[in-house]
Chains A and B, each alone.
Chain A
Amino acid sequence: MKTLKEWVFSTDHKRIGILYLIGSFAAFGLAGIAALIIRLQQYSPGMDIAQGQAYYNALYFHAAAMILAFLIPGLTGFFGNYFLPIMIGAKDMAFPRLNAFSVWLYLMGVVLALISMAMPDAPDVLWTGYPPYSIRTTANTAFYVFTVHLMGFSSIVGAINILVTVICMRAPGVGWNQLPVLVWTLLGSLTINLIFIPVLGAAVTLLLTDKYMGTHFFDAAAGGDPVLYQNLFWFYSHPAVYVIFLPAMGILFEVISTMGQNPVFNYKAAVYGGVFGIAGLSGEVWVHHLYTSGMPDWIRIGMTVTTLMISVPVGVMLISLWGTLYKAALRYNVAMYYAVACLFFLLIGGLTGIPLAMVSMTVHLAKTAYVHAHFHYVMALFATFSIFSGVYFWFPKMTGRFADTMLGKVGFWLSFIGANVTFAPLFVVGVAGMPRRYWDYDQFPAWFADYHHVATYGAFIMGAGMLVALANFVYCAFAGQKCASTNPWNSNSLEWTHTVNPPGPGNFLHDVSVPAGWSPYYYGAK
């Protein structure tokens, strides 16, 4: 009882981080089950697992929970709360009580999303909620709107908190060019959140008033415009891709640099070119989600150019990541396995996005399984594997114990093989014209079903792998092998060098200050 009270009323950033982690993994598990239902229904034409409404309820839940309740809060909420303050040598966040407020808003959002699975008129508007369908449907669009409001409000509060923490609470000596790349990527990510979430909030609020209060923002018959919503929605939701992408990259930099005992290659290019470039371009590309929506031709070709240009800052960051491998002394643990898989997913996912950047290619590829496979590689698989890499990497920091290596490797290989078996076939049927969001596909050539069979098998292999990894975390948090060293990977980052595992209240035994020339990526003689 006392422990429960300690957790519920905690304002300690580490406990709040753990609450974010528990919430995101819970959402991840349930959204994963929804994914298996979707894959079973697509196994072959005529399946009767979740037809019609039930299929779209599952799709809604899968996407909304994965993006809003797992990826964004997992990366910005968990990593941002637990590690960021320790990495900069701060005792806690700038506003601890605001921090508690944001995690509970988030957890309430997860609960709201969960309730939507059990209610009779569950939302069926996908996570995009396009009108006029979302207004005309008899299902409960309000639940969708309120879930977005809660999660969005939580993200805004969290973003302000973390930005202020980094700006004001760095330990003496920790300068801007000495911040771990993860801290920089979180800064970029949260700045994007702060700027763009209000736009999403406005979009779904207008949806709410259109549906329930008789306004006509998106009603063409009364002079409104349904495409306005799509613009507002993607004005946030494309940058949201970078909200997820940036911290996932940051985790890879930490893991690969530490496990390779090699400083980040061309740090300033990665930060000032990569992070700043991606954050800066993130708001100028959203129309590539509207390439077939009837937007004017000139803006479609214009946004083709801006979208392709995203490859410039991403490429600069990629060179830094690759360069960090150059002449490294790589040691392979489970965190590193996941990180290497991320490099592969980044290439596949990033490069398959290039045709989608081009409007003339996208008029065919849009809304097909090709898009579905592309963004699962670059967003779902890349970011999820990065989160798992980070959790394995910092597991001793959080628990004082090691996660089991054998279970870790089994979980990794099942997930990695399953992921590719699931999504590679979808590229093929996608180019052949298989649309997304179809629960039946009788009208297509029979060979489509073969590919969907394989994808469904892959999904179950991947599910098994994720389950093994999650079980590994839970079991080893309580019963894993104890970690004797406070710095098992020989990092030079403050969370490993200046405190114990796990850190107590206030994080550090003494006030932190670092000498001039200190770097989190210095691995030489201590």
Chain B
Amino acid sequence: MTGNKKTGWVSVLAGLAAFAAPAAAMALDGKVPDPAADWNHLFGHVLIDIIIIGVVFGGWAAYMLVKYRATAPGQIGQGPKLSVAQAISLAVIPAVVFMADDFYLAANGWVLWNTQRTVPVGALEVKVVANQFYWDFDFGNGVTATNEIKVPVGKPVVLRMTSNDVVHSFGIPDFRIKEDAVPGRKTFLWFVAQKPGRYLATCGEYCGMSHAQMGAWIEAVPQADFDAWIKSQQHASAAPAASASNS
């Protein structure tokens, strides 16, 4: 019993110590937060937490399963008879330890959740409409794209999403974020690409037989390249409209 109690607290304390630093830094320095890195960081800590609990309980069970084998036929177990005080404390103490761990995890999860749900000022706004089985993007100023977009490196991008038909879910594994696109609702997610590259976005919610093919590519490029791309897209979309008015 004491083994469990101790480990619970050790993991709580270790986790709290490890967390104090980055959480404080994030709040103070005023830079754009990096939710994907924060996600990896927190996931690492949750993994340590659950591995400690798993090893303690698993090792404890394995030890007892080997140690308390019957050695003679007809042998009876010698489990203790608990007094009322023992019985209550053996329920309440583990409960308090588990609860402490829960609150510790919930509190750290909440810190990241606030980051994930607070869109940084000046983020690039992109409207997204999901369809069976493709993604329409609208950058405003007449710039639209389907399934392939570019975004500037280092600049937060917020996707304002809805769906034209069924429920879809826009997830970018590399950015550790996902949110459903739901008919009749406006949902959002935001991300920031730290490095140039092509990032895959997948549809997460089952939407029909081609669900597995419903992907999009997000290409993170330097700001100048992004501006050029926007300009060329504006040009491309303006051209047919101009020629139509001429004729």
Contacts and interface: CB of A to CB of B under 8 A. Distances in A.
Nearest to A259: B70
Contact of B68 (A311, A329, A347, A357): A329
Contacts, number: 248
Contact of A315 (B95, B112, B177): B95
Given A220-B185, A301-B110, A358-B46, A367 B176 contact: no
Contacts of B105: 308, 354, 357-358
A221 interface: yes
B30 interface: no
A227 interface: yes
A506 interface: no
Interface string A30-67: 00000000000000000000001101100000000000
A441 B213 CA distance: 8
Interface in B26-66: 39, 42-43, 46-47, 49-50, 53-54, 57-58, 60-61, 64-65
A325 B64 contact: yes
A153 to B, nearest CB: 27
A361 B109 contact: yes
Nearest to A355: B46
A263 B206 contact: no
User: Which of B54, B65, B82, B102 gathers most chain A CB within 10 Å?
Assistant: B102
B54 A348 contact: yes
Contact of B204 (A126, A311, A366): A366
Interface string A220-243: 110011110000000000000000
B1 interface: yes
B54 A351 contact: yes
A292 B189 CA distance: 10
Interface stretch (A89-97, A264-272, A417-425, A472-480): A264-272
Interface residues of B, number: 81
B164 to A, nearest CB: 10
B166 A136 contact: yes
B65 A322 contact: no
B120 interface: no
A462 to B, nearest CB: 21
Contacts of B204: 292, 366-368, 435
A432 interface: yes
B189 to A, nearest CB: 8
A312 B205 contact: no
B179 A294 contact: yes
Contacts of A309: 99, 102
B87 A363 contact: no
Interface in A314-331: 315-316, 318-319, 322-331
B207 interface: yes
B109 A294 contact: no
B75 interface: yes
Nearest to B118: A297
Contacts of A352: 50
B171 interface: yes
Nearest to A54: B209
Nearest to A340: B65
Interface in A391-416: none
Interface in A124-153: 124, 126, 130-133, 136-137
Contacts of B165: 132, 136
A418 to B, nearest CB: 20
A294 B180 contact: yes
Contacts of A439: 212
Interface of A: 52-53, 55-56, 124, 126, 130-133, 136-137, 220-221, 224-227, 260-263, 265-266, 268-269, 273, 292-294, 297, 300-301, 304-305, 308-309, 311-312, 315-316, 318-319, 322-332, 340, 343-344, 347-348, 351-352, 354-355, 357-361, 363-364, 366-368, 431-433, 435, 437-441, 443-444, 490, 523-524
Given A300-B113, A364-B171, 17 more contacts: A225-B184, A227-B182, A262-B76, A262-B77, A263-B79, A265-B82, A294-B180, A315-B94, A319-B90, A322-B61, A328-B68, A331-B70, A364-B178, A366-B178, A367-B178, A435-B212, A437-B211
